[in-house]
A and B are shown apart, each in its own frame.
Chain A
């Protein structure tokens, strides 16, 4: 039954593009409907207003900052929901899928999840490189690729590697479930704080020119973008560590 539904969906997904292929505009066509209204404004004003060479970052965290605030909130709520679901409802005797064996134990703190990973390579090579790249992506995000979301995901990857590979209790930031959820909440709050500060300065919500400190308007945009990206980074990294800690704490493993 499930496979039949899957095959039907794939067939539908195959047929639909062929039906609508002629209606779609070409990629990057400047005369098409989505490119002809608001895109010109973004292309003209990204350098002058937002002070950011990367147009994607400018649109996401400057022109459409309110959308991104709600997206970050949704991410935070998703982490909290995973925590709540794994805490109560997911009982072992009511599982739909069978457990692996009867000798499963809960994950002890400080034990590696996967025993096959070389911890020396993880500690000395992978973690520092990923961490440095995350910080580069965060602070260079308005010039090159990336931004807060990617940096947060990379920092979350570093902490995941920690839990997966390191066998003793030297986990460098010993983050519990509550702390990581709190960090995610603080990140979302930093984002909202940028909006509240612009309200204090007498502008609209997230209107970066109205920050209460007095520097040039372009610099204020840079400060606003950086503040928002740090908030998003903390939110995403906290959410990933929250999900990881909820899984490690509540799900039994086959050792």
Chain B
């Protein structure tokens, strides 16, 4: 029962994080929050008993964030708001 409630907390935080990724205007913030998404997913894998997958998720989450930040150095950070 305790594990189930921990899972519920992680899943709810995943929903909140994905809402933040949609609604934020700054692309850099979106990328960093996306990194947090993969971090929470990693904890979810550990809770489910798959440490191998959690390890992969941690490494790949950091790597993809680095690639996104590299690309972000060449484009505008703010998305345009529709008037």
Residues in A lying within 8 Å of B, measured CB to CB: 3, 6-7, 10, 14, 27-28, 54, 56-57, 95, 97-100, 104, 113-114, 145-147, 149-150, 153-154, 156-157, 160, 164, 240, 243-244, 247-248, 251-254
Residues of chain B contacted by A149 (CB below 8 angstroms): 56
A160 and B63 CA atoms in complex are apart in Å by 9
Instruction: Report which of A6, A97, A145, A253 forms a contact with B22, defined as CB distance below 8 A.
Output: A6
Residues of B bordering A, CB below 8 Å: 15, 18-19, 22-23, 48-49, 51-52, 55-56, 59-60, 62-63, 66-67, 69-71, 73-77
| Alpha-carbon distance A150/B69, docked complex (angstroms) | 21
Most B Cβ at <10 Å: residue of A147, A153, A157, A164 = A153
Q: Which residue of B lies closest to A153 (CB)?
A: B59
Determine the chain A residues whose CB is within 8 A of the CB of B52 once the complex forms: 54, 56-57, 145-147
A-B contacts, CB under 8 A, total: 71
Given the complex of chains A and B, what is the CA–CA distance between A95 and B73 in angstroms? 15
In angstroms, Cα B72 to Cα A220, docked, is 47
Across the interface, which residues of B come within 8 angstroms of A247, CB to CB?
A: 67, 70-71
Main DSSP-derived SS at the B contact region: helix
- Most chain A CB within 10 A, of B23, B51, B63, B71, is at B63
Which residue, of B23, B52, B77, has the highest number of chain A Cβ atoms within 10 A? B52
User: Which chain A residue has the least Cβ–Cβ distance from B66?
Assistant: A160
User: Are B48 and A27 closer than 8 Å at their CB atoms?
Assistant: yes
- Min CB distance, A19 to chain B, in Å? 16
A251 to B71 alpha-carbon distance, docked (Å) = 8
